[in-house]
Amino acid sequence: MRIHRALAVAALAFAVVGCQQKKEEAAPAQAPAATPQAAQAAPAGDKIVFGHVGSMSGNEATFGDSTDKGIKLAVDEQNKKGGVKGKQIVVKTLDDQGKPEEAAVAATRLVTQDHATILLGEVASSRSLAMAPIADSNQVPMISPTSTNPKVTKDGDKTRPYVFRVCFIDPFQGTVMAKFATENLKVKNVAILRDVGNDYSVGLADFFAKKFQELGGKIVSDQSYKAGDQDFKAQLTAIKGKNPQAIYVPGYYTDVALISRQARELGMKQPLMGGDGWDSSKLYEIAKGALDGSYFSNHYTPEDPSPVIQEFVSKYKAAYGSVPDALATLGYDAAKVAINALESAKDLTGPSIRDAIEQTKGFKGVSGVITLDADHNAVKSAVVLGIEKNNAKYAATVNP
């Protein structure tokens, strides 16, 4: 979805009352140690509302689910310490079904009806683009955990005053994989298969191609699809005819997994490469081993022996019974940055909280040390993960 459509969707949201599907996540059944339900127990009038907009259903449902769990874990920890400024924090989560127009409607409802103090989300760039004008116009700070398209925090040439993120952006992420392909995989010819309906995929493909060609590589084929497609063999056959050494597929996990299986069915043995949109347990479930030998860039790895990461992994496993992916980690970090700003803000008005978030420097998150730059982007390192025996394994760290 392009920016002009996102703006139109956002404008429409102001006229829409209600959200078709609301989903306030209860504590997970496996969460006796850190149940997020405690975050919803604050009395009316004495609470701070974190409004989370996420894809709790649809093809990217694991994105919303993981992010929601990370947010609620952070909030539960803070409430056990007494909350912020004497108030408990309540998390209200609305399901956007993976659709930009629903993300805009959900953000509007959280601001106008639920009186959210802060918006958290979305993780997908197209959906964050639909929310951003709503945050600005209502002076409600918004922090995206993982939207990496540079346009998310920008309104033309200007930085959006109320929109922030705690992740790196795609010019860096594209550079990471272009350098890894050139220096580690030693490939010179690469094909691209991008989702043309997704700002994240289109932008990341462009940034990868630009850097890869600067490094002396050649893009031998540039094919496209749209999210939800089931048959990719026409594009893959065209790519096969160009005989690339690798294929860059900066899409989301469901499409990428299907693409990998169909590529192997066509006898294509090249490694696939991609970005953080691959990160989901569903990727491996659907791919069934077809991605072995492939690589993707990401925000963190649970294999990192850092005490900060291992403590978070332990807490998350105790609460939810699974290892946190990057979405959960960045959801946790986004909520922690919001809490840190609330504590230092002179009051709980939107402008004061906005000013406090903007001053975030050297914040020690699980996904890395977070310092927000002038465009409200986090400057952080990235990791490259390789897939072996249908599991992700750490391969490299790339610093800004």
Closest CA to 21 of 73, 69, 64, 56: 56
Q: Are strands 295-298 and 363-365 parallel, antiparallel or unpaired?
A: unpaired
- Cα–Cα distance, 240 to 221 (Å, whole number): 9
HEC secondary structure over the chain: CCHHHHHHHHHHHHHCCCCCCECCCCCCCCCCCCCHHHHHCCCCCCEEEEEEEECCCCCCHHHHHHHHHHHHHHHHHHHHCCCECCEEEEEEEEECCCCHHHHHHHHHHHHHCCCCCEEECCCCHHHHHHHHHHHHHHCCCEEECCCCCHHHHEECCEECCCEEECCCCHHHHHHHHHHHHHHHCCCCEEEEEEECCCHHHHHHHHHHHHHHHHCCCEEEEEEEECCCCCCCHHHHHHHHCCCCCEEECCCCHHHHHHHHHHHHHCCCCCCEEECHHHCCHHHHHHHCCCCCCCEEEECCCCCCCCHHHHHHHHHHHHHHCCCCCHHHHHHHHHHHHHHHHHHHCCCCCHHHHHHHHHCCCCEEECCEEECECCCCCECCCEEEEEEECCEEEEEEEECC
Per-residue pLDDT of the chain (400 residues; tens, 9 = 90+): 334 444 444 444 444 433 333 333 433 333 333 344 434 334 446 899 999 999 999 989 999 999 999 999 999 999 999 999 999 999 999 999 999 999 999 999 999 999 999 999 999 999 999 999 999 999 999 999 999 999 999 999 999 999 999 999 999 999 999 999 999 999 999 999 999 999 999 999 999 999 999 999 999 999 999 988 999 999 999 999 999 999 999 999 999 999 999 999 999 999 999 999 999 999 999 999 999 999 999 999 999 999 999 999 999 999 999 999 999 999 999 999 999 999 999 999 999 999 999 999 999 999 999 999 999 999 888 999 999 999 999 999 888 7
Reported pTM:
0.84
For the sheet containing 142-144, what is the strand order? 88-95, 47-54, 118-120, 142-144, 163-165
- Report the Cα 310 to chain-centroid distance in Å: 21
Q: Are 171 and 150 in contact (CB under 8 A)?
A: yes
- Cα–Cα distance, 91 to 48 (Å, whole number): 9
Measured N-to-C along each axis, helices 233-240 and 253-265 cross at an angle, to the nearest 10 degrees, of 60
